[in-house]
Amino acid sequence: MKFCLQNIPHLEIDPAFSSEREWLDHLRMLAELPYPSLALMPSILPIVRQRVPCKFGGFGWTDAQLQPLAFMSEQTNLRAYRWWASNLEVAFRIFPLREQWEDRGEGVRERCARPDFEALDFYEEVFASQGVRWLAVAPVAIADGERRGFLSAYRQKAAGPFADEEQTSLQHAVDALAMLDSKNNPLSALPTSDMKAVAETNLLIQADGSMSARSQEGARLIYLLGGANMHSLEWARPDWLALPDTVREATQRLFEHDAGEIRQRLRIDQPWGRFDFFLEKLPHHSDAAGAVVAVSLRYFEAVDITVARRLAGWPLSPREKRIVVAGARNPNLAQLAQALGITINTLKSYNKEMVDRLGIGSRQELIEALLSDDAAQYDLCYPGHSA
């Protein structure tokens, strides 16, 4: 759906991208951000879905010997998690990782097309329980040389299997992600990014550790807390073991406290974002027999990630997008030019050409527009959230 922002009404933005080339350029720019691939994946997968129609996407990491390390999915439920947690070896017999790597995902499509696929427990527990039938996978050569990745797309039954051209597009997408986890990223030398609130969620935890009221967004934020540290599938657990140790231990202390309503605030900082927790013990709650701890979690994302994601579909060249994204870290001209590998005069020329063509006052004005409440409602990852 095309849209315009209130403070730049003359610009029409098409997040579906006008061409595959523009889409791939945007994925390439996201992969170049100086953060771990696990932290970038919640921003990358919605962009992938703009040109590879599917219900949700996922990404798996292995070591160089194809031993599984971690997995992230845009959608999960308790039934699928429990099956995955107990049957990983079964899943990788159905879809062998080495075969996926060597045939670039073709065997996955062929296996899904077989009539007996729907008779498998794997299909019923993981696919049917989440409303999907078809799977496409493409392997990724991660830049650090120590890990490999697998980009996946899941589609509903009525939408039909992934066509050859869609498998090709998925492969083009992983080729565009070649700079993920690069060890020599010039953007790392820029000043540390500011943070801006982009998402919040609420959890209810009972005294036995069970967790309720967790949304898909809640699972995503817990993933960013723990999954981004290679904690495999722990982020999808239905209990407090999904939470970081400091939060879980604070929750346990609240339950052990004899007083009525008590509260505690916690903060966890990561390079890609800040996580603010507010824990409150409620002696009585309609959803539980006894006391519960209500957990509010607010996520403040590094603004260069937010800006990069929200630039999807903007009428800027790849070079201009890189200038805007790197500029979101508030570097001086010399720092910005060095990170981009150009001279200060060239940077000034590119910058002037961009703002004149867009009809805006400055690059900073564009960054502020991308971080505005107006732009937040069109965010492909955290729609509608603002500070």
Q: Which helix H or strand E contains 41, and what residues bound it?
A: helix 37-49
CATH architecture of 195-303: 2-Layer Sandwich (3.30)
Neighbours of 215 (CB within 10 A): 11
Query: In this prediction, what percent of the chain has a pLDDT beyond 90?
Result: 76
Residue 350 DSSP SS3: helix
pLDDT tens for each residue of 117-157: 999 999 999 999 999 999 999 999 998 888 999 999 999 99
Model-wide pTM > 0.75: yes
For the chain, helix (H) and strand (E) counts, in that order, are 16, 11
- In this structure, the dihedral spanned by the alpha carbons of residues 183, 186, 191 and 197, taken in order and rounded to 10 degrees, is -70
- pLDDT(50) > 90: yes
* Residue 238: per-residue pLDDT: 85
CA distance 45 to 218: 17
The most distant pair of C-alpha atoms in the chain lies apart, rounded to whole Å, by 67
**CATH top-level class for 35-176?**
alpha beta
Check residue 239 and report its DSSP letter: B
Instruction: Compute the distance between CA of residue 124 and CA of residue 136 in angstroms, rounded to an integer.
Output: 18
SS3 state at 139? strand
pLDDT at 386 over 70: no
From CA 44, how far away is CA 51, in angstroms rounded?
12
pLDDT at 332: 96
Q: Is the pLDDT of residue 239 over 60?
A: yes
Distance (Å, whole) CA 314 – CA 254 = 47
- Domain segments of the chain: what residues? 3-12+312-376, 35-176, 195-303
Per DSSP, 208 falls in state T
- Supply the pLDDT for residue 364: 96
The rounded radius of gyration (Å) of the Cα atoms in the chain is 22
Tokens of 6: 């209130």
Asked if residue 240 lies in contact with residue 248, where contact means CB atoms within 8 angstroms, the answer is yes
Rounded to whole angstroms, how far apart are CA atoms 50 and 69? 27
What residues contact 122, with CB distance under 8 A and at least 6 apart?
83, 87, 90, 91, 94
Residues 6+ apart with CB under 8 A from 180: 31, 37, 40, 140, 142, 143, 149
Residue 364 CB contacts under 8 Å (≥ 6 apart), including other chains? 327
DSSP label of 7: T
The model's pLDDT over 309-357, given as tens digits with 9 standing for 90+, comes to 999 999 999 999 999 999 999 999 999 999 999 999 999 999 999 999 9
Assign 205 to helix, strand or coil. strand
Confidence of residue 237 (pLDDT cuts 50, 70, 90): confident
**Is residue 228 very low, low, confident or very high in pLDDT (cuts 50, 70, 90)?**
low
pLDDT in tens, 163-216: 999 999 999 999 999 999 998 899 999 999 999 999 999 999 999 999 887 788
pLDDT at 144: 86
Number of Cβ within 10 Å of residue 191's Cβ equals 11
Indicate the helix (H) or strand (E) that contains 295: strand 292-302
Phi first, then psi: give them for residue 128, nearest 5 degrees. -60, -35
> Mean pLDDT of all residues in the chain?
92
Domain 3-12+312-376 sits in CATH 1.10.10.10: yes
**Are 35-176 and 195-303 equal in CATH topology?**
yes
